[in-house]
Structure 1
Amino acid sequence: MPKITENEQLTFPILIGDIGGTNARFSILIDTYAEPRQFPIVHTAAFSTIEDAIQQGVLDKTSIQPRSAILAIAGPINADEIPLTNCDWVVRPKAMIEEMGFEDVLIVNDFEAQALAVASLSDENREPIGPLSESPIASRVVLGPGTGLGVAGLLHAQHTWFPIPGEGGHVDMGPRSDRDFEIFPHLARIDGRISGEQLLCGRGVVNIYDAICAADGVEPQWSDPADVSTHGLSGNDKQAAETLSLFVTYLGRLAGDLALVFMARGGVFLAGGIPQKILPALKRPEFRAAFEDKAPHTGLMHTIPTFVVTHPLAALSGLANFARTPANFGLATDGRRWRR
């Protein structure tokens, strides 16, 4: 295999993919200046392998033959066979090169792709939460409450963006207010622990709701996160409304903690499936109040902007940004890039 220089540009056209547990999204980038050509969303359950999905969902629908591929996946990348966390597909870059004609395959973490996206989101693709609407060219954080809770940092140094993937969604969460101390004993735990992901994702919405109902001595009426959110936003269910209030409060606390860890003066960006759906709740005072309540650094936190990512294909946009100008990013590719 030829030696690969770090951040060496892939050969166009480039297939770009964002592979989730339920859906896979693909586009093809023809060259540095073109807009990516998008393809219909692929349901992972409809295909037995990722190769079948790429062939039928992309290659059979275009005369363009990609020469390279960049794929973002949820899960650790530490071998030539990479199982996905929430579906049965296994990504085999060497097999893709041999069987599908690619010359070059790069695999990155799904939240690295989100971090690459927030490096250059335009105003129309982000909704400010709070009074600050500008995002300085400085380090940033992205959180993704959705099926799980993804977290990544984006450090800015020496005119370069460095995406920092991690497992920040699994940090400890604890009670703080009097109401928290009433609710937390009823929260479902994993091995005795309450992590961010136990609260700040789809199942976390239900976890908070069930705990509130238990603390109030009432039977839960809803078991689907969407139902809890809908009734919480409408205000016609007391426990659901409090669930949303606490959800955005806990999200604000964790977002503020991560902003301090990364000194994210460039802002904190909320991606994932949930923030756009509960935008009215996030715009209420609770989120920013919890975000800024970090004495002795309340003044600093007041200067850090927060946003909801509204770009419909943010991960693909981030990967396309990297594909066009890899030299602008300190993306580590060692052990994650395969070449014919």
Structure 2
Amino acid sequence: MPYPNDPDRVLDFPILIGDIGGTNARFAIVVDSYAEPKEFPVVQTADYETLDEAIQTAILDQTHLLPRSAVLAVAGPVDGDEIDLTNCDWVVRPRRLMETMGFTDVVVLNDFEAQALAVVALGEEHLEKIGGGEAETAGSRVVLGPGTGLGVAGLVHGSRTWIPVPGEGGHVDLGPRTPRDLEVFPHLERIEGRVSAEQILCGRGLVNLYRAIAAADGAAPRFSTPAEITAAALEGSDKMAAETLDLFVTYLGRLAGDLGLIFMSRGGVFLTGGIAQKIVPALKNGRFRAAFEDKAPHNALLSAMPVFVITHPMAALMGLAAYARTPARFGVETSGRRWRA
């Protein structure tokens, strides 16, 4: 059975930590409470049939370290002994990992819980500020990140503990607001009739938005990948790509502002993931911030709320490492998400 929640119980070192997304999986080993995590090359999930194979081949076979515990963050809700990933065919089976790899303890979190933990583990050198005032030290925070999908998590402070709040906020509805939105939205690809935030604010969503703009204008799309669209937009070499990125950051700003209000994020709103890091110039051109603050009657509240782009390439691993070293620092609910031999 999953081990009962006990935040004061330490994990046995060495500890394997893993951030498992829809496209990439990142791993490291935390040797003790003081050493920096030993990182390994990024794993492409498509290159391995199972998580177990990836861990054995890409990590354990490449080191003399033998982890005794594992803390894994996965892109999807954690429920039961077989955990499906939202945008990947891998299934996480903690009991099998313990049987085949000798772990005595396995903790499985949501991937954006790890991103939330990273918010208090990273220094200012890994944060790019996008307007707003000063962050309150113990203020609530929210993290969102467009990538393969769109992840969202909160982080609240209480009883001298940081408590991550996982969820599936990337799947909330996102609707049109301006006349241009009303021209574009009818052409967006939907899921069972819905336009969720993730249908626009992720890699495939960027392509979805670009194609919808082309259809609205009766134009032929030139590009087919997020990288092509963002490159052309940032270079200023394609008008339709430029509008796509402008609308992308506008919609991201609207959602980020909504989430800032929901969590009353006086400690900051944090954008994470590869897409956010690549489009910092677009995030700073004023459109994101204008959409973020346009929340009457709470414009003043939002204008004071700082937004940061997390620039650390392994942010989630840093959050997992912080938790693995000192679980008692964080109010992570492990009931039903911790397995012990």
TM-score tier, shorter chain, comes to over 0.9
Aligned pairs for 1:164-179 within 5 A = 164-179=165-180
Q: How many aligned positions are there?
A: 340
Matched, 1:329 2:334: no
- Over 3 Å counting, the alpha-carbon distance change for 1:211 and 1:48 in structure 2 is closer
**How far apart, in 2, do the equivalents of 1:271 and 1:99 lie?**
33
Q: What residue is the counterpart of 2:6 in the other structure? A: 6
Q: What residue is the counterpart of 1:283 in the other structure? A: 284
Q: How much does 1:75 deviate?
A: 1.7
Amino acid at match of 1:230: A
**How far apart, in 1, do the equivalents of 2:216 and 2:127 lie?**
37
Shifted more, 138-147 versus 212-221: the winner is 212-221
Deviations 1:281-320 (A, max 9, x none): 0010100011011111111111110011111101110001
**How far apart, in 2, do the equivalents of 1:295 and 1:12 lie?**
50
**How far apart, in 1, do the equivalents of 2:32 and 2:134 lie?**
32
Q: How much does 1:180 deviate?
A: 1.3
- Over 3 Å counting, the alpha-carbon distance change for 1:76 and 1:327 in structure 2 is same
Q: What residue is the counterpart of 1:183 in the other structure? A: 184
Shifted more, 218-227 versus 244-253: the winner is 218-227
Is this contact kept in 2: 1:135–1:305, CA < 8 A? no
Gaps of 5+ in 2: none
**How far apart, in 1, do the equivalents of 2:321 and 2:251 lie?**
33
Deviations 1:188-238 (A, max 9, x none): 222222110111111211222122222222211112111111111112211
Is this contact kept in 1: 2:3–2:339, CA < 8 A? no
**How far apart, in 2, do the equivalents of 1:3 and 1:335 lie?**
7
- Over 3 Å counting, the alpha-carbon distance change for 1:94 and 1:203 in structure 2 is same
**How far apart, in 2, do the equivalents of 1:168 and 1:102 lie?**
32
Amino acid at match of 2:76: G
Is this contact kept in 2: 1:173–1:194, CA < 8 A? yes
Q: What residue is the counterpart of 2:118 in the other structure? A: 117
- Over 3 Å counting, the alpha-carbon distance change for 1:275 and 1:31 in structure 2 is same
Q: What residue is the counterpart of 2:100 in the other structure? A: 99
Is this contact kept in 2: 1:12–1:29, CA < 8 A? yes
Amino acid at match of 1:6: D
**How far apart, in 2, do the equivalents of 1:89 and 1:209 lie?**
30
Shifted more, 236-245 versus 74-83: the winner is 74-83
Aligned pairs for 1:72-221 within 5 A = 72-130=73-131, 132=133, 134=135, 136-221=137-222
Q: How much does 1:163 deviate?
A: 0.6
Whose relative contact order is higher, 1 or 2, with alpha carbons under 8 Å and at least 6 apart?
2
Is this contact kept in 1: 2:171–2:197, CA < 8 A? yes
SS at match of 2:302: helix
**How far apart, in 1, do the equivalents of 2:52 and 2:163 lie?**
30
Shifted more, 254-263 versus 1-10: the winner is 1-10
**How far apart, in 1, do the equivalents of 2:75 and 2:43 lie?**
16
**How far apart, in 2, do the equivalents of 1:33 and 1:118 lie?**
19
Is this contact kept in 1: 2:145–2:271, CA < 8 A? yes
**How far apart, in 2, do the equivalents of 1:299 and 1:131 lie?**
10
Shifted more, 48-57 versus 321-330: the winner is 48-57
**How far apart, in 1, do the equivalents of 2:225 and 2:5 lie?**
48
Amino acid at match of 2:193: G
SS at match of 1:142: strand
Could you tell me the TM-score, scaled by structure 1's length?
0.96
Q: RMSD over aligned Cα, in angstroms?
A: 1.6
Matched, 1:226 2:232: no
Q: How much does 1:131 deviate?
A: 5.3
Residue identity over aligned pairs, in percent, reads 65
Matched, 1:262 2:247: no
- Over 3 Å counting, the alpha-carbon distance change for 1:137 and 1:152 in structure 2 is same
